[in-house]
Structures are given as structure tokens and as C-alpha cells.
Chain A
């Protein structure tokens, strides 16, 4: 099976920010990246060590904790907006990660990991360096493409 290197999105092309960047900056970045379909910001330190990931879910939760609970009356977005959070560093809101795959790993292995942990992107390392990420989105496309191909 194919190596995930083929589906790798290099770090430079994927939204990433230093841990001290503000929530506002992260929001701007993801908003401006809308067309690309990306929804997670990788969080690094100054030495490019991966610290965590900031998913859109993390962002929304940050700006309004009430999202955690469902309210029967619906949500009044304006009043529940929490402005103070904007200036805080993203390290306060990011999700830690503990799963990475190696650049030489097989696609199926990666797919399995994604399913098991219910995540849709995963960082790819080579020795100690983060090369980039792969997305479930692209893996699914690759696998199903392979299936359809072999059926012919």
C-alpha cells in the first residue's frame, strides 16, 4: 500500500502558529483559510516542537463554554460571546495530542488510528521532525479510489 508521504500536506502549507499567538489570530487564520477546507491550527513552540492542535471545535468552545451544553431555548450568540478570550494565547485552548505517525507508515495504519481515536488529522514525523499532516479526508479518498480501481 502507498506510503502516507504521498498524501502529506507539508507543514508550510498547513495552518500553524506559535503557542503565544492569540485566539483572535487563530480565528483570523482559520477564517481566511476557509476555501482550503482546513479547520485545525497546529501549535508549535519557537523551536518548532509540536505542542498541540487547535481545532475549530476548540475555538468555539473557547469563545462560548455554553456550547458544551445544549440549551432547549436555542443559543443567543451575541450575548454569549466571550470577548476576553480573544487576547489569550492559544496554548490555553489547544488540545494536546499524543498520536503521531511516521513518514514511512502505511496508509491503512493511519486510517485505523484516525478511526480509533476519532480524529480527522494526524501529524507526520520523520525522526524527530514534524513534516506535516495527513487528513482523513485525503486518506478516505485514496482508499476508496483504490477499492474502485481494483473492482474494475
Chain B
């Protein structure tokens, strides 16, 4: 236990300056103040983290870790200071802290393990549970080939383990540090991205990995030599977190038509795309850190496509519709997904008999094809097929069947990449879960938009929703850098690069582009209303003008239609991300408050389940510890040494002890104007303003001489007329008032931070008969309750307080206590019956608790 405590003590923040005289009260006060300050820090950090959960902000793991670590430090400091303040009374707090902290640590360090495997694995041996080794894309390809039996190109994977070894071999982990850049700093992201990519391109592949890849490629060549001339492959990313819940669509590089000798070089290129600016932005905003970014790579037989494209097994924009959507282009599929050309669109019914419901075949001028030796090149589409449909009706239906097979196997709608080779054979290149948005149907559009001018009424809906803002044309990367918050992005082509500003854009409009492209995928993932294929947006819309994009009905209106925006309100997609869920899970150990009632027996360290519980407990207890100062047996000694008498015209003899900045002077006798202590000053002013009933106080000597010769009422105790003591600082006061038979303690902390502030009033009556005492207690209790104190009564003892008031209201409460003190001095005699008590209560309130008191 000692060791445990020492571990915690070591971590404490640098110690404050040493006190010069070691006076015990001053020391306790220092710990108390430190505790209060750390408590405020904790509350601020918690509030900030909770605000991030409102969904209005984007943040990354770095934020979560930094905030957490600050929190841990502060909570530790609170416990340590309480330990010193209370002289070690609450050792169990350390255990409570350790328990909660270890839960948080466990969550923070949850890492995916990279399994040790061969450096390369052929697709023949891959299934979907090997995701951690081969990445999502490759795992799915292996699954499709080996379990489902649909045609898939030959190929092999370069595993995550190979990646790990590559990184270690070149010590890249220590050279690439992404956490240093803020997610919203575009400049910084660009710079780090360049540096990282250069580093990787200049790094060496370990020799054993290189030979493994060579061998695998030779093996691949042998398998496909029957199909093509000299074998080439595409080298594609297959990141570990790719394609599970996150599309990472278009973020990583794919190298097409690569020859044997260039596989290694392209492998590095694909790996380096892990550090594309937009990829960095994407995974930071989704909550991954660079340690989580592990990439496997697929080396896949290159198929020189006759036609290719994307297929959705269900409609991503409408949960109600479940027809199969096929996009097709001549040539390689890249042009379909990156928005360069407008694709053929086929909509096929999923019910038997398979029917083609819709067919759109725009003219395609250019296509991407493989160069004979290597690489790809854009060529013109032959005249005779430019306007033709890429697929025949039979082919369409055939392909649609594949979609349903895949959907059935995975049990959720699929996003599929396919290719048709020159011999009219289909291959599946990729499949992954299709993200479908759940939307509320929008009613009464007619009524809302009446009177607004429609600027554009054509287009395909890539992501449903309504967004409004000023038109901002994006023609190049510079434009993207300058994109303003809340604007509508208008461009000719779609581009996955737009992901960089998807958290800022209120809507996206593009003249060309398919709803199955990468960018469309990203729009849906970030839930940005997007209209594509509008054709005339660039020439119709005006820069800077306010427009409303209705991506539910496919219209763009002039001006801003609030009701429409309201009606199309979208769910914040950030709430689905890993980092968001992570923060929420983490905060479960931090924020919920179980320890509510200090009177409850469960209000103890053993029942602390969160950091909030710990700080609440510590705060409560710290107040109690400070409160006991005045009852400390040390007081008589202090009296002689340090107490200063206040000369004041009230029937009390008052001495003060200054802890820290409470008094202006050095002399042994002072007047009220020399009191710097805010609470003490207020209390004194209040008492001086009262008319004190009864005779002035006698000094002790005089008192005793009178006692000897007078009658005493039979049921009284000895009249006590001892001096009253106060311990003060600038913001703090602990005032023990002796008044006749009664003892009152007023304790207060009046600072600038509302969380620190409180007033506590403890009243213990003495003397008088039982019924008089009871009446007096009731009198004071009810006045306190009616002036908004929180009062607890145990027999003759009243414990009243107010907490978390701002300075000015707290001082008013002190004023009431001052008046009450004077008012109730020697009231016993007149509390003849309960009716009198009620009258006195009314009297007090009407005189001293008027309208201007809150």
C-alpha cells in the first residue's frame, strides 16, 4: 500500500513555494486552495469533453488522449491534497482512483494485434476471417473466390505482417509522427503527408520480403499465362480497417497494369498513400491513429477491361427501395468511380423475373485502357460504341444475380466492383458493405418551397438531405484549401479529394459524376447532401450567392429556405465514428455521478465509480476538514500569538487570525475598514448595520462581580461571554461567534469561481428550557429556509448552507446571517409561545429580506 501511495505521490505536479513559518492553519489552507483549483480544472475538462459529444465538433484521438491525461493528473492532485489536508484520513481514495484509472487505461491502449504470417499469401488460401492479416479487400476477394465461388482474378496478398516488418526495418514508427498535427490544420497535414510519403519511397524493403514477393509474382504469372501475354497486375491497397465500417473510398492509391520488375516500387507507392493528406484527414476524423493504420496490399491479375463498373445490391439513398443499381463504363473501372465520365446506369429489379427497370446510356468519349507494356492510358472510345450500352440486357441480368449472391452471403447490401474482359467474362474485383442512410420522409415540400425560384431541377441524388449556403466553386486544389465554412461546394467533376472539406460543406453539387463513385460514397458517409450530374450548375449558379440544395427532390433553389432545411435535418454522421463512440465509452468512467447525498452511508471512497465521484467526495470532505479548523484544540495557543482584535461597535469581542491577505495592517488592534477578507467584511458590515437588542457586553471581570450578587433564573446555565474568533484570508472566513448561550459558526469561501463558493452556518443553542430552545431553533431554521439556505436539523444543532452561488449573491446571504445573528441574540425570553415564533419570523423577513435580495 505504501508503494502504491508513493507511485501516486511521485506523479504530483511541482510543489509550491515552501511556507516560511510552518503554521498549521496556513498550511491546511494552502492544500484546501489547491484542491479547489484542481477541482475546477477537472470540471472544466469534463465539460469540454461532454461538449464534444454534442456532435457539433470534430476531434481526433489525440484530443481524447490529451484530455484524459490532464484529467488523470488533476484527480491525482486532488487526492494528494486531500490526503495532506485531512492528515491521511481517506486512504481508500487511492484505491478507488487506481481502479477507475486502470479501466480507462485499458480502453485507451486497445490495439489490434498483427498476426505473424507469411509475407505473401495467394488468394487461394484467403478467407474473410483473415482480415487482420490481409486487409478487408483481400479477405473479401478470398472469400468470394473460395467460399462463394464467383469468378475473381488471380492474385496474392502482401500481408500486414510484411508491412509491420517493413516499418520496423526502416524505423519509420519513430520518423513519422502524425499526432503532432491538428486535424484542422490543412497546411500542417499537407506537409506531414509529403514528408511521410517521401520517407517511405526512400525506404528499403527487407530482402526476405522482396524475395517473397518475387516468388509470389512468378507463381501468379504461371497461373495467368494462359490468359494474357506478359503478365501484369494491379497493386491495390487493402488496409486493415478499410471496408469494414469505413469506406476509405478512393483514399488510397491503386497502381494499374504493373510489370514484374515494378511491383516493389509500386508496393511502396501504394503503402505511402496511407499518408495522403486526405487519407490522414479521413482516418483522424474517424478516430484511428497511425498505429492503427496497417496496410496489406493485393497484387491482382490485371484484366484489360472491355467494360467495368460498380454495382449496388440495393439503393443507398433510399431504405425503401431495394433495386439493384449498376454503373458501367467502357474500359477500366477507374473512370466510373473517380467521376471522370458519366457512366451507364442500369436499374434492375430484385424480384423474379429479373427485369431491367431503367437504362441510361450517355455518350462516353474517352476510356481508360491498359498500355501493352505497362501502365494505363486514356484513349478515345471507338465511334461505333460511344453511345451504345456497355452491357447487353442478358449481361445486365447476369451481373445482377451476382449482386444478390453476394448480398445473401454477407447478409447486408453490398457495394461491388466488377469487370468484363474482352472474352465477355465477368470478374468481381471487390465487395464491401453498402452504407444505406436511414432518412425521415419529408412532407409538404410544395407548401414550403412555394415562391422560391428553382435554379436547377435536374441531377442525381448521391446523398439525401437539404443544405444551404453560399456558392463556392472548386476548380483546383487551391480552391479546396480556401473553402469556407458552411458553403455549398460546386464543381464540374466529383473528386474524393473533397473529403477534406466535407465537415465544412453544407451541400455538394457537381455537373458530372455518378452516385456510385468514391466521392458519392464519402458524401453518404459524412452525410453531406449531394447532387450530381446537374450538368449546368457551373454555368447557372453564381459565386457567393445563397442557395438551397434540395437533395431529396433533386432541386436547387435561389435563396435560403429555412423550413426546407429544418425538414431535411440530418443526423450527425460523426456520431457513428469510432473516435466518437470511444469518447463516449471513456466518459462513462469519468462523468456519471453516483455519490450524490453526503448524508448517505454510501457516500464513501468505496462506492466511487467514476472520477466525478472521487472529486465530489474530496470536495465535500475538504469543506468539512476546513470547517473543523475552528474547533481545533490549537486555537487557545493561536490566540496568544497571532490574534488581532477588531474594534467595532457591536456587542461582540472579536479576534481574527489572518491566514493569507485578510488584513491590511500589522498592528494588534484594527478597525473594520482594515479587513481585506471579503466574507468577513460583509459579515461585519451587516452586523454593524443592526440595532442590537439588550445591554452592551460586559468584560469578563465585570461580569463575574455582578454574577455573585444577582438572581439567576432557575433553568439557565451559566452565561458565557467569551470572545469570538475568526480565521480569515482574502476569500475565506471561519468565524466562531459566542453570543450569550449560543455558539454559531459562519464559514464562507467567496471567490471568483462559482464552483468554489459556499457559505455554511452552524448553530448550537444552549441555555433556556427545552421548549424555549426548541422554539429558538425553529425560529432560526425557518428564517434560514425561507432565505434559501439548505438546512439540516439534529436536535439543537442547525447546519445550513448555500453552495455554488456567484460572489454577489453569496455576499447577500452573508448579510442575512449577520442580521440574523444580531436579531436572535437573547430572544429566548420572548419566545413565549409558538405564535410569537411565527411573528418573529415574519418580522425578520419583512425587515431584512426585501425585493432586492435574490
Q: Could you list which residues of chain A lie within 8 angstroms of chain B, going by C-beta atoms?
A: 11-12, 15-18, 20-21, 25, 28-29, 32-33, 44-49, 128-131
Q: How large is the interface on B (under 10, 10 to 19, 20 to 34, 35 or more residues)?
A: 20 to 34
CB-CB under 8 A for A25 and B713, given A18-B694, A46-B694, A46-B695: no
Known: A18-B826, A21-B693, A32-B833. 8 other contacts (CB 8 A): A12-B772, A15-B832, A17-B830, A21-B830, A29-B836, A46-B694, A47-B707, A48-B712
Nearest CB in chain A to that of B710: its residue: A47
B830 touches A32 (CB 8 A): no
A-B contact pairs, 30 of them (CB 8 A): A12-B769, A12-B772, A16-B832, A18-B826, A18-B829, A20-B693, A20-B695, A21-B693, A21-B829, A21-B830, A25-B830, A29-B830, A29-B832, A29-B836, A32-B833, A32-B839, A33-B832, A33-B833, A44-B713, A46-B719, A46-B826, A47-B706, A47-B707, A47-B711, A47-B719, A48-B712, A49-B711, A129-B711, A129-B713, A130-B711
Contacts of B695 in A (CB 8 A): 20, 45-46
Nearest CB in chain B to that of A18: its residue: B829
Residue from the set A18, A45, A130 with the largest chain B CB neighbour count within 10 Å? A18
B805-837 contacts to A (CB < 8 Å): 826, 829-830, 832-833, 835-836
Nearest CB in chain A to that of B698: its residue: A46
A128 touches B711 (CB 8 A): yes
Residue from the set A12, A128, A129 with the largest chain B CB neighbour count within 10 Å? A12
Does B714 interact with chain A (Cβ within 8 Å)? Answer: yes
Q: How far is the CA of A48 from the CA of B826 in the complex (A)?
A: 12
CB-CB under 8 A for A49 and B836, given A12-B769, A20-B695, A25-B830: no
Does B699 interact with chain A (Cβ within 8 Å)? Answer: no
A48 touches B833 (CB 8 A): no
Q: Smallest distance from the beta carbon of B609 to chain A beta carbons, Å?
A: 54
Residue from the set A33, A46, A129 with the largest chain B CB neighbour count within 10 Å? A46
Contact with A along B91-128 (1 / 0, CB 8 A): 00000000000000000000000000000000000000
Q: How far is the CA of A131 from the CA of B715 in the complex (A)?
A: 10
Q: Could you list which residues of chain B lie within 8 angstroms of chain A, going by C-beta atoms?
A: 693-695, 706-707, 710-716, 719, 769, 771-772, 826, 829-830, 832-833, 835-836, 839
Nearest CB in chain A to that of B716: its residue: A48
Q: How far is the CA of A11 from the CA of B715 in the complex (A)?
A: 10
A-B residue pairs, 9 tightest by C-beta:
A48-B713, A32-B835, A128-B711, A47-B710, A129-B711, A17-B830, A20-B694, A20-B693, A28-B839
Q: How far is the CA of A15 from the CA of B829 in the complex (A)?
A: 9
B712 touches A18 (CB 8 A): no
B712 touches A129 (CB 8 A): yes
Q: Smallest distance from the beta carbon of B165 to chain A beta carbons, Å?
A: 94
Contacts of A47 in B (CB 8 A): 706-707, 710-712, 719
Contacts of B832 in A (CB 8 A): 15-16, 29, 32-33
Contacts of B771 in A (CB 8 A): 12
Contacts of B772 in A (CB 8 A): 12
CB-CB under 8 A for A17 and B829, given A28-B839, A46-B695: yes
Q: How far is the CA of A25 from the CA of B839 in the complex (A)?
A: 9
Contacts of A128 in B (CB 8 A): 710-711
Q: Smallest distance from the beta carbon of A53 to chain B beta carbons, Å?
A: 15
Q: How far is the CA of A130 from the CA of B711 in the complex (A)?
A: 8
Q: How far is the CA of A15 from the CA of B826 in the complex (A)?
A: 15
Residue from the set B693, B707, B713, B769 with the largest chain A CB neighbour count within 10 Å? B713
Nearest CB in chain B to that of A47: its residue: B710
Q: How far is the CA of A133 from the CA of B66 in the complex (A)?
A: 79
A28 touches B836 (CB 8 A): yes
Contacts of B715 in A (CB 8 A): 12
Q: Smallest distance from the beta carbon of A52 to chain B beta carbons, Å?
A: 14
Q: How far is the CA of A42 from the CA of B472 in the complex (A)?
A: 92
B829 touches A16 (CB 8 A): yes
B713 touches A11 (CB 8 A): yes
Contacts of A46 in B (CB 8 A): 694-695, 719, 826
Q: Smallest distance from the beta carbon of B720 to chain A beta carbons, Å?
A: 13
Nearest CB in chain B to that of A25: its residue: B830
Residue from the set B694, B711, B769, B836 with the largest chain A CB neighbour count within 10 Å? B711
Nearest CB in chain B to that of A14: its residue: B832
Q: Smallest distance from the beta carbon of A40 to chain B beta carbons, Å?
A: 13
Q: Smallest distance from the beta carbon of A5 to chain B beta carbons, Å?
A: 13
Nearest CB in chain B to that of A10: its residue: B714
Q: Smallest distance from the beta carbon of A104 to chain B beta carbons, Å?
A: 16
